Amino acid sequence: MKRSSMSEFNGPDDQDEIVRITRDRQPEHFLLKIESYSMLCQTEKYESGIFEAVGHKWRLCFYPKGNAKRGGEGHISLYLKLADTSNLPYGWEIIASFKVFVFDQLRDQYLIIEEHCETTRRFQETKSEWGLAKLLSLETFEDISNGYLVDDCFILGAEVFVSKHAGCRVECVSFINKPTDNFFTCEIENFSTLDKEYYESKHFIVQGTTWKIGIYPKGRTLQAKGGLSAFLYWVHDNGGSASDEKVYAEFKFRQNTGLALHQKLEDGPSSFRSTI
C-alpha cells in the first residue's frame, strides 16, 4: 500500500489536505463501471443506481467535466449522496466517513482518494451529499498511461463507514397570525337539578387541536362556591396527560342570551349555553 499527499486536489468541499492510497483489494460497498466516457461527457452529472451500505441507501454522483458550482472545473468530481431518507426520523443526522476509488486498469490497483485522517461528514436533510470537487484533474484522468481511462472505460468505487446515526427530538413553535373565528356551543339542560360536581362537553377540534369544556355547577374552588366555574381543556392527542407539549390559545366564554351569568343563575334557568 502506498500513501502520498495530493494537495492539488483541494476544492471548496475538501479539507486542507487530500491523500491518496493505492491498494489491490476492491471497495467493499460499491463499484461503478462506465464504458462510454466520451458519451457521458455530454451530460453535466450522472447519478448511479442505489447501493446499500451500513444500513442506509446511497448513490455516487459523478461530474465528468467537474462540478463548476463547487470550483471543480478542469477536474472530475465525485460525491456520495444519501439516496433514501423517507424512513428516517424528523431531524435525522448521520455522521459518516467515506472513501472513493478510481481503478488503475493497467496496474490492477485501486487509487483511494480521501480527506486527511478520514474526516467525518454530517449527512442531514439540508446537506445529504458530500464529496470531492477536484477528485482528479482531467489531464491526469484522461492520460492513458495512468490507467484510469482505458478504451473509453473507467471504474469508480466507494466505501462508507457510519460512526453515528442520530434522530434528535425537534420542537416547532408556530403562531397563527389571523386565526379564523371558531365557535363551539355546550348546552346543559335542567341546570338547577344537576347534582354532580363536574360535567364536560363533547370533544371539538379547532385549528387541528382537540378541546373540551369542563363545567363545575357549584364552583370548583372555595372562592367560587355558590357560583359556576367553566374551564377550557386541551385534550392531549399525543402523549396522554403526561405529555409536556404546550398549546397557547386565546379564548372567551360567552352566554347565548347576553345576560350576566349571576342574573341567569338567580332566575333558575333550565339550560345553560357556553360559546367559545
Residue 184: closest CA among 256, 269, 235, 271: 256
Q: CA-CA distance, 157 to 23, in Å (whole number)?
A: 13
- Please check whether residues 122 and 75 belong to one and the same domain: yes
- Please check whether residues 140 and 80 belong to one and the same domain: yes
- 262: pLDDT confidence band, cut at 50, 70 and 90? very low
Q: CA-CA distance, 64 to 41, in Å (whole number)?
A: 5
- Please check whether residues 97 and 131 belong to one and the same domain: yes
- Tell whether 168 is covered by a domain: no
Residue 136: count of CB within 10 angstroms of its CB: 25
Residue 31: count of CB within 10 angstroms of its CB: 16
- Please check whether residues 76 and 142 belong to one and the same domain: yes
Helical spans, DSSP H, in the chain: 37-40, 138-142, 261-266
- Tell whether 77 is covered by a domain: yes
CATH number at residue 143: 2.60.210.10
- Please check whether residues 193 and 217 belong to one and the same domain: yes
How many domains, the chain? 2
- 265: pLDDT confidence band, cut at 50, 70 and 90? very low
Domain boundary at 115, 133, 162, which? Answer: 162
**Residue 130: pLDDT over 80:** yes
**Residue 17: pLDDT over 80:** no
- Tell whether 41 is covered by a domain: yes
- Tell whether 252 is covered by a domain: no
- Please check whether residues 79 and 53 belong to one and the same domain: yes
- 38: pLDDT confidence band, cut at 50, 70 and 90? very high
User: Are 131 and 13 within 8 A, CB to CB?
Assistant: yes
- Tell whether 45 is covered by a domain: yes
63: left (phi over 0), alpha (psi -120 to 50) or beta: beta
The pLDDT value given to residue 16? 46
- Please check whether residues 119 and 230 belong to one and the same domain: no
- Please check whether residues 55 and 146 belong to one and the same domain: yes
- Please check whether residues 40 and 129 belong to one and the same domain: yes
Read off the pLDDT of each residue in 141-147 and give the average, rounded to a whole number: 96
User: Are 74 and 67 within 8 A, CB to CB?
Assistant: no
Q: CA-CA distance, 194 to 78, in Å (whole number)?
A: 76
Read off the pLDDT of each residue in 32-43 and give the average, rounded to a whole number: 93
- Tell whether 189 is covered by a domain: yes
Q: Running DSSP on this structure, what letter comes out for residue 141?
A: H
- Tell whether 130 is covered by a domain: yes
- Please check whether residues 180 and 217 belong to one and the same domain: yes
The pLDDT value given to residue 50? 93
- 208: pLDDT confidence band, cut at 50, 70 and 90? confident
The pLDDT value given to residue 117? 57
Grid cell for residue 139 = 489531464
- Please check whether residues 148 and 210 belong to one and the same domain: no
Q: CA-CA distance, 29 to 159, in Å (whole number)?
A: 5
Read off the pLDDT of each residue in 76-87 and give the average, rounded to a whole number: 90
Q: CA-CA distance, 60 to 48, in Å (whole number)?
A: 5
What is the extent of the structural domain holding 189? 174-236+271-275
For the question of whether the overall pTM of this predicted structure is more than 0.75, the answer is no
User: Are 48 and 60 within 8 A, CB to CB?
Assistant: yes
Q: Running DSSP on this structure, what letter comes out for residue 179?
A: P
Cα torsion 138, 140, 142, 148: sign: negative
The pLDDT value given to residue 261? 37
- Please check whether residues 72 and 201 belong to one and the same domain: no
Cα torsion 68, 72, 73, 79: sign: negative
Domain boundary at 162, 185, 207, which? Answer: 162
- Tell whether 251 is covered by a domain: no
- 32: pLDDT confidence band, cut at 50, 70 and 90? very high
Domain boundary at 133, 162, 191, which? Answer: 162
Q: CA-CA distance, 266 to 191, in Å (whole number)?
A: 12
